[in-house]
């Protein structure tokens, strides 16, 4: 593999996700794109911006996500990889697919959280939507068993 996109969400599966993706970069000449899709700005009723506390909270979360992405980017560069990180606000599936197209990715690697049938029924699954919409091969890495057991 020469061009791998890793979908980052900074959940407990992230470290395993990166480990699996890097195992596919046999020659270390691969280019890696780390993409984190942040929640879009909240919609507010009316024409005025929402309450300052909401805007401050959203801005702080975005700063933390950008820093986490930069940390992963530096860690992988220290291992000799050509890596780029992008933190983009948007709708997860559409944004990941658009970035994969721009990057000309050969593989998209993402995590699965295994939240259960009820949540899946109510909210759907990003992994499932990606499987349905992507023409680029997709590798879904499950949450490690020990982490899954801790979350229950």
Q: Which domains, and CATH codes, for the chain?
A: 3-151 (3.40.50.620)
Per-residue confidence band for 55, with pLDDT thresholds at 50, 70 and 90: confident
78: three-class secondary structure by DSSP: helix
Report pLDDT for 150: 53
108: three-class secondary structure by DSSP: strand
Average pLDDT, the chain: 82
Range 119-143 average pLDDT: 77
Q: Has residue 151 got a pLDDT over 70?
A: no
- Residues 3-15 as b or e (16 or more Cβ within 10 Å = b): bbbbbbbeebbbe
Q: Has residue 46 got a pLDDT over 70?
A: no
Per-residue confidence band for 27, with pLDDT thresholds at 50, 70 and 90: low
Report pLDDT for 122: 38
């Amino acid at each position: 593999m020469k061009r791998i996109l890793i979908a980052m969400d900074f959940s407990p599966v992230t470290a395993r996700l990166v480990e699996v993706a890097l195992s596919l970069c046999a020659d270390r000449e691969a280019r890696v794109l780390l993409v984190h899709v942040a929640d879009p700005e909240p919609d507010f009723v009316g024409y005025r911006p929402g309450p300052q506390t909401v805007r401050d909270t959203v801005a702080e979360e975005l700063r933390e996500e950008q820093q986490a992405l930069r940390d992963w980017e530096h860690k992988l560069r220290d291992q000799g990889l050509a890596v780029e990180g992008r933190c983009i606000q948007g709708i997860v599936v559409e944004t990941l697919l658009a970035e994969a197209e721009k990057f000309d990715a050969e593989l998209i690697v993402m995590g699965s959280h295994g939240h259960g049938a009820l949540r899946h029924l109510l909210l759907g699954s990003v992994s499932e939507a990606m499987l349905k919409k992507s023409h680029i091969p997709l590798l879904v890495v499950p949450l490690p068993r020990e982490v899954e057991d801790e979350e229950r």
